[in-house]
């Protein structure tokens, strides 16, 4: 009797396993496969899942060099045009005018530059830092945005290759005027 009960249990277990296999096959037929190979139950399962964060795109600028501390990096060979003075057209308070400067790299090695900013934010540079490949150039756009009518003069410093001894200076000159008109009915 014991043997008969064991064989009956084995048959029931085998039938249950076959049924489970059949059910799982029919379920996998209705599931969709994702790009990573995992199975989804429905086409819109990802959209219904509230725990999914939307993708975010971040651009991170990173620049570095391979020179050990205390060693001499490549000496930058750059030319700036205009070389000394950048004169902006006259404007009124709160208006913006623009000028460009071309920084040319005449060497075969890349040059990193960083324009130190004006603390009053009257003069701004776009982009304020960057990498110029060998035998190439970058154009930097300067913005003059005065707050009050007067003459402005700022000595902009451009540091090359992260080395404070490799600095070029240029004068940014701007004039801000405010009209003062008086009308009379004579």
> Which pLDDT score is estimated for 38?
59
> Which pLDDT score is estimated for 92?
94
> Which pLDDT score is estimated for 136?
96
> Which pLDDT score is estimated for 8?
67
What residues does each domain of the chain span?
78-175
Q: Does residue 3 register a pLDDT over 70?
A: no
What does the block give as tokens for 45?
A: 């399962």
Do residues 102 and 151 lie in contact, with contact meaning Cβ atoms separated by under 8 Å? no
For 16-33, write each residue's pLDDT tens digit.
777 666 655 444 444 555
Q: Does residue 150 register a pLDDT over 60?
A: yes
Of 44-48, 73-77, 106-110, 147-151, the poorest mean pLDDT is in 44-48
Alpha helices, DSSP H only, in 31-58? 45-48
Rounded CA separation 91/174 (Å): 8
Q: Which CATH class is domain 78-175?
A: mainly beta
């Amino acid at each position: 009797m014991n043997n008969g009960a064991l064989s009956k249990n084995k048959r029931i277990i085998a039938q249950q396993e076959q049924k489970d296999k059949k059910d799982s096959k029919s379920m996998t037929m209705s599931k969709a496969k994702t790009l990573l190979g995992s199975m989804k139950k429905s086409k819109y399962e990802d959209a219904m899942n509230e725990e999914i964060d939307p993708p975010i795109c971040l651009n991170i600028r990173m620049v570095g060099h391979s020179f050990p501390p205390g060693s001499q990096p490549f000496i930058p060979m750059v030319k700036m045009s205009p070389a000394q003075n950048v004169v902006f057209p006259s404007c009124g308070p709160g208006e913006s005018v623009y000028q460009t400067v071309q920084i040319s790299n005449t060497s075969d090695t890349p040059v990193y530059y960083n324009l130190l900013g004006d603390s009053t934010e009257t003069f701004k540079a776009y982009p304020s830092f960057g990498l110029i490949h060998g035998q190439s150039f970058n154009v930097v756009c300067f913005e003059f945005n005065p707050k009050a009518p007067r003459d402005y003069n700022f000595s902009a410093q451009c540091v090359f290759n992260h080395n404070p001894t490799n600095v070029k200076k240029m004068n940014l000159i701007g004039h801000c005027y405010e009209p003062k008109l008086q009308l009379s009915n004579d």
